[in-house]
Structure 1
Amino acid sequence: MLQEINDTNFNQLVILSKSNKPILVDFWAPWCAPCKSLSILLEEIYTNEYKKKALFFKLNVDDNPKYSDRYKIRSIPTMIFFKDGKKKDMHIGVATKEDIREKLNKLI
């Protein structure tokens, strides 16, 4: 299962991360059906392909308004791709494995 992050540890784990790996943050909510579909896909991709190459986190937008507002999350699911603490790319809505791979591979 992907690690859940929150408004308290987001800055430390994403912005100030010492990792040289790209970071994918999945902005989601428990009531969102498309979010559940994407979550299954992200789990699969992370476990089978990117565990050693990237970091994946989940942020519940209902419980964590600070970073949801900062990144202007208006529709979920939304994925933001970070590298070296900076937002590099974004995808709104459910994505295919190929879409996710393409965005991550540009940052690796």
Structure 2
Amino acid sequence: MNRRLFLFTASALLFAVPTAPSLLAADEIAPGFAEASAAGVPVLVHVTAPWCEVCQAQKPVVANLVGNDDFASMKKFDIDFDSQKDVLQRLRVQTQSTMVLFKNGKEIDRSVGVSDPAEIEAFLRQAL
């Protein structure tokens, strides 16, 4: 009996594997994501949680960069770690304070737990 349960569970997990982020319909990430991707602008998806200290340190740094100067064309989409689990699964994000960077609709890099302003700026520059 345990063998049947194991095989059933394993096969169910095999077919429930989330789709790779590059194969997702762009509009499944967040409202406006599809339009930004189609326009070819750099896109930042920032996964945060209100209780996360690193996230709170990242927010003002990202806010000062995105939409200003060199990053004027970059679009930012905030994803709540606690309430948007479906998006986290599609993006394969496992922790808060994750930043996922897209260029021309494709993921080019991601950063987790970085709050140093210079490192965040260098990370975002990859999409320019």
Q: TM-score, normalised by structure 1?
A: 0.77
Corresponding position: 1:21 with 2:41: yes
Structure 2 residues without counterparts, runs of 5 or longer: 1-26
Structure number with bigger Rg = 2
Corresponding residue of 1:30: 50
RMSD of aligned alpha carbons: 2.2
- Alignment coverage as a number of residue pairs: 101
Corresponding residue of 2:74: 54
Shift of 1:81: 0.1
Structure 1 residues without counterparts, runs of 5 or longer: 1-7
Pick which of 29-38 and 43-52 moved more.
Answer: 43-52
Given that 1:45 and 1:97 are in contact with CA atoms closer than 8 Å, whether structure 2 keeps it comes out as no
State the 4+ residue runs in structure 1 displaced beyond 6 angstroms: none
Larger relative CO (CA 8 A, sep 6+): 1 or 2?
Answer: 1
Deviation per CA, 1:3-30: give whole Å up to 9, x if none. xxxxx76255335632221101100111
Deviation per CA, 1:22-78: give whole Å up to 9, x if none. 101100111111111111111111254355231112110211111101222222200
Bigger helix fraction: 2
Q: Which amino acid aligns with 2:32?
A: L
The percentage of counterpart residues that share the same residue type is 24
Given that 2:46 and 2:98 are in contact with CA atoms closer than 8 Å, whether structure 1 keeps it comes out as yes
Q: TM-score, normalised by structure 2?
A: 0.66
For 1:71, which of 91, 96, 99 is the aligned residue?
91
For 1:10, which of 12, 26, 29 is the aligned residue?
29
Separation of aligned partners in 2, 1:97 and 1:38 = 8
